[in-house]
Amino acid sequence: MATSSAWKLDDHPKLPKGKTIALIVLDGWGESAPDQYNCIHNAPTPAMDSLKHGAPDTWTLIKAHGTAVGLPSEDDMGNSEVGHNALGAGRIFAQGAKLCDQALASGKIFQGEGFKYVSESFETNTLHLVGLLSDGGVHSRLDQLQLLIKGSAERGAKRIRVHILTDGRDVLDGSSVGFVETLEADLVTLRENGVDAQIASGGGRMYVTLDRYENDWEVVKRGWDAQVLGEAPHKFKNAVEAVKTLRKEPGANDQYLPPFVIVDDSGKAVGPIVDGDAVVTFNFRADRMVMHAKALEYEDFDKFDRVRFPKIRYAGMLQYDGELKLPSRYLVSPPEIDRTSGEYLAHNGVSTFACSETVKFGHVTFFWNGNRSGYFNEKLEEYVEIPSDSGISFNVQPKMKALEIGEKARDAILSGKFDQVRVNIPNGDMVGHTGDIEATVVACEAADLAVKMIFDAIEQVKGIYVVTADHGNAEDMVKRDKSGKPALDKEGKLQILTSHTLKPVPIAIGGPGLSKGVRFRKDLDTPGLANVAATVMNLHGFVAPSDYEPTLIEVVE
């Protein structure tokens, strides 16, 4: 690829080119006070611990939540999408959650092409809304769904069916009941006002519909069967009863509730999706909607037998994949994340290897590259996906594929073929989400072993490492009150935190290739994930583009 002048990065005045850089993202690895709910603290993590001795020059903390990653408020925890977007793009973009808030607040969402298109079905057919039902704010938000329902009814939707996915991952397990009650109350009001509005189907997000990166199409199929075909192993007259009943099964939780459909008095499903209907998927985040969107939109589709492929008017809350233009219709334009560090580095001859296991593969590639699939330059890049275990909850195999990721990274480093070797190590996050504290400790230990393996390889090639995380999770596994003490529920029980956190994440630099005098600056007000890209560009020997968030490092004589 010839470097056009627009892409050419200036040479760094002090830092050399040609060092091998390992860029490690520990998923869900925040920094928090040590106690029994801090799984990172309680796991043997010698590699990560040793880095703290370098504080404040080569180890520090950066912000990974709220406005620092383009989310609406400081109460918004970080997540992989916004975290990796910020890490890779080096700038802060208003993210899906915020863009949808703005479009709903101004009413522009209802004037756009996407809404006009689906509203053509309102007169004669049903509007289906499918998505994650919670106020977690990672993939969707209940208040946005409420505004969407209200706005649709005001604009002529006469028959509305909501297909819910219970959460328990971005919010406390068990909170599903309250969210369903709230939605149900809204629908009652609508019915009183003459709109035929009901919940039509449901299921837990990790078991129904919301798979990602093609890890397990069965998950999407279960949702299809319930939402489109009106078929599921469990049938109920109302959704509150459905969720309450299914939660009583041994081992049941919100994330993994089995699929159910709501039926009328004659036992008929109240809301299968049929020809002529409109469908809106109200999640704004991309990764867990892409597979579902393909099933809804693609004429040619062979991932499972859809049985029936209704001719619908379908729009996503956002477009979930800009390359695939999927879905082709959407209510709100996604953030336009351009000129990412990956694209710049490719134009400047930097060769890159990126790797994770399936459940996080798109994080270090698609999200990292500003929600863009594929390579910038095939000759310079190699992306490797290690198949994840599927069909299990990750507390069963908490080591996941950490060591395999470590090995692949090691081999890539030792091969001498790559300037940058970038990985995501998923354990802290994926196992943290299960709420299983013991398993999360094992997960953190495995992640640390993978880090050690990469450090050893960097030592051999006299390279540099940069270790950070995308947001917190495993460092705090309990809900806390304002004073920071574990908060008890009405029955006096601890509430295990399965979600991400608001905590900062560590970042450390080191390795034999790190030039003398390189250290973290102390003059940045609130450095965050978006400052990492410029830092890495510097370590590759380049000055970052002037509109990037400032570098974290300085070189002192």
Ligand X SMILES: O=C(O)[C@@H](CO)OP(=O)(O)O
By CB under 5 A, what part of segment 50-79 binds Mn ion? Answer: none
Q: How many CB atoms lie within 10 A of CB 183?
A: 22
Residue from 101, 297, 429, 549 touching Mn ion (CB under 5 A): that is 429
Which pair of structure tokens corresponds to residue 260?
């159910």
**Least distance CB 511 / Mn ion (angstroms):** 24
169 binds, options Mn ion, ligand X, none, Cβ within 5 to 8 A by partner type: ligand X
Please identify, using beta-carbon distances, which residue of 80 and 209 lies nearer to Mn ion. Answer: 80
- Under the binding rule (CB under 5 A), the answer on residue 470 touching Mn ion is yes
343 binds, options Mn ion, ligand X, none, Cβ within 5 to 8 A by partner type: none
DSSP string for 192-221: HTT-EEEEEEEEETTTTT---TTS-HHHHH
**Least distance CB 83 / Mn ion (angstroms):** 6
Please identify, using beta-carbon distances, which residue of 288 and 422 lies nearer to ligand X. Answer: 288
**Least distance CB 499 / Mn ion (angstroms):** 8
Please identify, using beta-carbon distances, which residue of 47 and 132 lies nearer to ligand X. Answer: 132
Of 21, 22, 20, 83, give the one whose Cα is nearest residue 452.
Answer: 22
Which pair of structure tokens corresponds to residue 540?
């590759």
Helices and strands of the chain, counted as H and E runs: 16, 17
Residue from 38, 42, 58, 80 touching Mn ion (CB under 5 A): that is 80
Query: Is 80 labeled as catalytic in the residue annotation?
Result: yes
- Under the binding rule (CB under 5 A), the answer on residue 475 touching Mn ion is no
- Under the binding rule (CB under 5 A), the answer on residue 356 touching Mn ion is no
The pairing of beta strand 420-425 with beta strand 464-469: unpaired
**What is the binding site for ligand X (CB under 6 A)?**
27-28, 79-80, 138-139, 169-170, 288, 429
Please identify, using beta-carbon distances, which residue of 167 and 445 lies nearer to ligand X. Answer: 167
Given 32, 50, 73, 80, the catalytic residue: 80
Helix (H) or strand (E) holding 362: helix 358-362
- Under the binding rule (CB under 5 A), the answer on residue 170 touching Mn ion is no
Of 81, 82, 79, give the one whose Cα is nearest residue 69.
Answer: 82
Please identify, using beta-carbon distances, which residue of 83 and 327 lies nearer to ligand X. Answer: 83
Q: Total residues at the site for Mn ion (CB under 5 A)?
A: 4
**Least distance CB 18 / ligand X (angstroms):** 33
Dist. CA 362–CA 80, nearest whole Å:
10
Only one of the segments 24-32, 377-385, 503-511, 532-540 lies at the binding site for Mn ion (rule: CB under 5 A); that segment is 24-32
**Least distance CB 70 / Mn ion (angstroms):** 15
Angle of CA points 444, 489, 475, to nearest 5°: 15
Q: Which residue is nearest to ligand X (CB)?
A: 80
Dist. CA 294–CA 303, nearest whole Å:
10
Dist. CA 505–CA 500, nearest whole Å:
12
288 binds, options Mn ion, ligand X, none, Cβ within 5 to 8 A by partner type: ligand X
- Under the binding rule (CB under 5 A), the answer on residue 27 touching Mn ion is yes
Q: Is the dihedral of CA 322, 325, 327, 329 positive or negative?
A: positive
Q: In b/e form, how buried is each residue of 71-94, taking b as 16+ CB within 10 angstroms?
A: bbeeebbbbbbbbbbbbbbbbbbe
DSSP type of residue 397: S
- Residues near Mn ion (CB under 5 A) are 27, 80, 429, 470
Active site residues: 80
